[in-house]
Structure 1
């Protein structure tokens, strides 16, 4: 059971974890619209092409697992919303940047067409909307499931909880993200099955591969912060209370 209350204790490293979490979110969001990667591998006849953010975004789930496991759902909820605000703000910046007049030399070697092709989804709402929706659904699902499993399993078998919650959270995230991006024209519908399957498989594999890091971070943080939060009686409302 908890060694301390995550609601009243000041934590030394929570802000640092949040900073890495938000940095990963924004970087992966840009990478998602920057490039579609195809390694020439197929599964059941479906090419395993993936957007650039797929390689980095799973790390946000690693940090999300660490946050929930160490600090509890309330702290994790706050960080998730901070990430949401940062993603929304970055989208607005790209939108207003798109409206500003281009310098002549830049227009010659790069140009507005290139900006729209690479960052257009973020500046017009496609990737931004897809990222925000997928992010909220996936991260909150992951946090709630991990938190409930911890109580039910009495804190044992961390790897089962982190991977189990990721399997559901990443599935919802991938489905919502690719669906919203396809509906807004960022990705063609011919890529729908490829991107959903590849996003899901790669994200889960990366999360599983990062399990030793998750264990190390959890052990170190619990010891340093003097806390091991169990969300007994907590209301899993994303909006607080």
Structure 2
């Protein structure tokens, strides 16, 4: 008589405490999709951030609402970084970060080649050449600012996430997201705004301060507002990723640990 064993059920994430932090395999499940999304977000944010945006002045206090055109997209890069770090670990997050910026550098090199190639000399060709130089010419400065800022901020974000997970295991996910996001965005915003300000037309210390404060508050508020969705996505991937479930069961003593 032949018997068929049922597939192992997913381990409830809140039950028990793993011996150490648990991570999924990079080659399995959703890592490739998350890494590609991060690269696309970083590239598009670099293009958008080359344009300064002015929404007016807050009545009564004279605070100017100054930002850049990448403001609505960039927080998603940190959200994706949080998801990758929590599920796949520090090395996987670092790999996604390096890949994203390598692709961003490739994009900047491509822009410069496009600008330098000889174009048509009629009125339309000349106008297009001038538009490309004006729009894409300063992008390399923004990309440099983004590279240094995101590298510093996301590295701190990843470090805090991983250290807190090492200490608390599967517990305290929301606390990890809150703490790492705030610290990472603070460092990122200060570095980025200090370098990119001139490229988008900010010329005074007052404008820089307003740009930096508003950018930090906006990014953190967006990430905090997205935490319920972020944590739900993380928990869903953990439940549906076979390698994560296998290591979770092994860590809790339900299965023998495998290399």
Q: TM bucket by the smaller chain?
A: 0.7 to 0.9
2:132 aligned residue (105, 115, 119): 115
1:176 aligned residue (160, 170, 191): 191
1:139 aligned residue (133, 154, 165): 154
Is the alpha carbon distance of 1:4 and 1:174 closer, same or farther for their aligned partners in structure 2, counting shifts above 3 Å? closer
2:237 aligned residue (213, 216, 221): 221
CA contact (8 A) 1:58 1:203 kept: yes
Is the alpha carbon distance of 1:72 and 1:41 closer, same or farther for their aligned partners in structure 2, counting shifts above 3 Å? farther
SS at match of 2:170: coil
SS at match of 1:54: coil
Aligned-partner Cα distance in 2 for 1:107–1:175: 39
Q: Which runs of no fewer than 5 residues in structure 2 stay unpaired?
A: 1-17, 249-259
* TM-score of the two chains, using structure 2 as the length reference: 0.78
Q: In the alignment, what sits opposite 1:20? A: 37
CA contact (8 A) 1:29 1:127 kept: yes
How many residues are aligned here?
Answer: 224
Q: CA RMSD in A?
A: 2.4
Q: In the alignment, what sits opposite 2:221? A: 205
Q: In the alignment, what sits opposite 1:42? A: 58
Task: Please identify which structure carries the higher helix content.
Answer: 1
Aligned-partner Cα distance in 1 for 2:129–2:214: 30
Q: In the alignment, what sits opposite 1:192? A: 208
User: 1:29 offset after TM fit, Å?
Assistant: 1.0
| Larger gyration radius, structure 1 or structure 2 | 2
Is the alpha carbon distance of 1:134 and 1:106 closer, same or farther for their aligned partners in structure 2, counting shifts above 3 Å? farther
SS at match of 2:55: coil
